[in-house]
Amino acid sequence: MDTDALLAWYDRVRRPLPWRDTRDPYALLVSEVMLQQTQALRVVPYYERWLARFPDAPALARAPARAVLEAWSGLGYNRRALALQSAARVVAESGWPDDLTELPGVGPYTAAAVASFAWDRQEAAIDTNVRRVLERREGRFSRGRVEQLLPPGRAATFNQAMMELGATVCRPRAPRCGECPVAAGCGGFAAKPRRTGAPPFEQTDRFARGRVVAALVAGEPVPEVGERILAGLERDGLIVRMNGRVRLP
């Protein structure tokens, strides 16, 4: 892969996403948690409102759980908000650990992304977009291969460029191969997307769980979703049930 061509392309076309203009590890952690399984443009308004309300780790750490869920409501996967607050409590009390995976809810990808973007650590941040680019180019994925491609001192820019390439050009469906800056030597889009037979979103547990939290945030009656959904929300710390009533924690 021509890394210089990739970086030059990224410099020309990079989207002006707000988290790309900060080195604040807290703001970057917020963005990475919000971006999990959520499109970037949908995250932008949530990210900006969140930082206005909880500008740093201590502010988030001391916030009531209800306020945290209110600010998150609509993004989906509400337990990510509580995990983010748990991480903020650790940071507020003890500072940032050298190994960011020690923070609640932070896995290897998020740790590498925050470390490279905030502190210029020479680490490869490998998300689904980066994995897809490498699998298509070389017919397989290898973490070692991504690490070999990291340009000295420019891991942060390389990570952003690879994510941008996967999100906007080397997409899961209908890839724009003619616009790819590193098309030379690529194995191409080898297979058509497989049909998963997944149910409509409105029939998923995620949708039902989101309806419950959104209703509680709005002060509306809890919809009929069944015991299994309520039990799962209670187990995840997203609701409290007492004397037949359901409320936010």
Residues noted as catalytic: 32
User: Could you give the angle at which helices 79-94 and 65-72 cross, rounded to 10 degrees?
Assistant: 130
CA distance 78 to 75: 7
Burial class for 134, CB neighbours closer than 10 Å (0-12, 13-18, 19+): buried
Sequence-ordered list of residues with C-beta below 8 angstroms from that of 225, at least 6 positions apart, any chain? 208, 209, 211, 212
Backbone angles phi and psi of 35, in degrees to 5: -75, -10
CA-wise closest residue to 233 among 10, 14, 69, 17: 69
- Where do the DSSP E strands lie in 90-214? none
Residues in the chain: 249
CA–centroid distance for 171 within its chain: 17
